[in-house]
């Protein structure tokens, strides 16, 4: 048990409290919570999170998306809804679009307001986004973490019984080095890594179809093999992916038959397979113990 001081504005009210937080399940209706993480910024982690969430929803799953990037929340833009969600009694109804329920601090803080918060305040904000939101029954809650291995990651690990984590990287060595740190962090908090996603793998010319490996090639697959974790797939660079994020219409919705959309679908499917395997292994360990 530990104490947290916070002053978070949610639902139009200023929350100022000193709370005793116990290890408990704040999201009882969620079957599986999965962290989407990266060791460094700029690798397209949120883009991967959004398109994976939509892919899962299109497959018939009940999906939620938590924007845990307190300092740089942008999931509402990518999901096409900027208006704050409505209250539901003492809780808040999450926004919903493209078949995905989602929540973000961006709904409650003006766009030009910097989030100059220390660790305990970040912890309190994430706690409220989990506890005070009426998520309902979900098959998957994807948690889009900020880059790095800081307070937000620790808070999620403490507050949510994570079923696993997905590491997003790009092929170049700098990104791969940082992704290994992220994997080490999840290992320390006993969260299984379900696999690595390599984003921005290559650029394919729309005219001649020649592939250019802007950030090197195959680094994510090689890292997965070296570290003994699954490789979930690769996503090429394409302007349509960026446009979809800016316009609030993910590419998997805007152009579902594109190679990029199919890549996201395959990654989501592979992730669910690895999640099923991981859960079976954990059940087996409990039986043995």
Structure confidence at residue 224 (pLDDT): 86
Which superfamily is assigned to 26-288 in CATH?
Answer: P-loop containing nucleotide triphosphate hydrolases (3.40.50.300)
Structure confidence at residue 12 (pLDDT): 41
Q: What stretches of the chain show up as alpha helix (H) in DSSP? A: 45-58, 75-79, 119-131, 151-159, 173-188, 219-227, 239-247, 251-254, 259-288
pTM of the model: 0.85
Could you tell me what percent of the chain has a pLDDT over 90?
Answer: 43
Structure confidence at residue 204 (pLDDT): 79
Q: How many residues does the chain have?
A: 289
Cα 196 from chain centroid (whole Å)? 13
Domains of the chain, residue spans: 26-288
Tens digits of per-residue pLDDT, 237-285?
A: 899 999 999 999 999 999 999 999 999 999 999 999 999 999 888 776 5
Most trustworthy range by pLDDT among 2-11, 112-121, 180-189: 180-189
Average pLDDT over residues 205-233: 82
Average pLDDT over residues 41-68: 94
Structure confidence at residue 16 (pLDDT): 35
Structure confidence at residue 113 (pLDDT): 75
Task: Give the whole-angstrom CA distance, residue 68 versus residue 171.
Answer: 25
* Mean pLDDT of the chain, nearest integer: 83
Task: Give the whole-angstrom CA distance, residue 160 versus residue 22.
Answer: 11
Task: Give the whole-angstrom CA distance, residue 177 versus residue 167.
Answer: 12
């Amino acid at each position: 048990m530990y104490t947290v001081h916070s002053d978070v504005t949610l639902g139009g009210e200023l929350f100022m409290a000193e709370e005793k937080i116990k290890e408990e399940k704040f999201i009882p209706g969620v079957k599986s919570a999965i962290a989407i993480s990266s060791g460094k910024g700029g690798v397209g982690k949120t883009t991967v999170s959004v398109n994976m969430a939509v892919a899962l929803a299109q497959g018939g799953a009940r999906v939620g998306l938590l924007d845990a990037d307190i300092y740089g929340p942008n999931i509402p833009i990518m999901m096409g809804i900027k208006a704050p969600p409505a209250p539901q009694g003492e809780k808040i109804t999450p926004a919903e679009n493209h078949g995905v329920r989602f929540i973000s601090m961006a709904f409650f803080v003006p766009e030009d307001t910097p989030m100059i918060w220390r660790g305990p305040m970040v912890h309190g904000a994430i706690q409220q986004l989990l506890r005070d939101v009426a998520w309902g029954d979900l098959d998957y809650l994807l948690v889009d973490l900020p880059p790095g291995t800081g307070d937000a990651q620790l808070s999620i690990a403490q507050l949510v019984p994570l079923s696993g984590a997905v590491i997003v990287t790009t092929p170049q060595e700098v990104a791969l080095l940082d992704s290994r740190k992220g994997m080490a962090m999840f290992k320390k908090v006993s969260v299984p890594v379900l696999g690595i996603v390599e984003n921005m793998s290559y650029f394919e010319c729309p005219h001649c179809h020649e592939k250019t490996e802007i950030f090197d090639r195959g680094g994510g697959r090689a890292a997965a093999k070296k570290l003994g974790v699954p490789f979930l797939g690769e996503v090429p660079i394409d302007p349509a992916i960026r446009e979809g994020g800016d316009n609030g219409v993910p590419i998997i919705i805007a152009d579902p038959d594109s190679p990029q959309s199919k890549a996201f679908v395959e990654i989501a499917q592979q992730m669910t397979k690895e999640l099923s395997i991981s859960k079976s292994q954990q059940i087996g360990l409990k039986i043995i113990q």
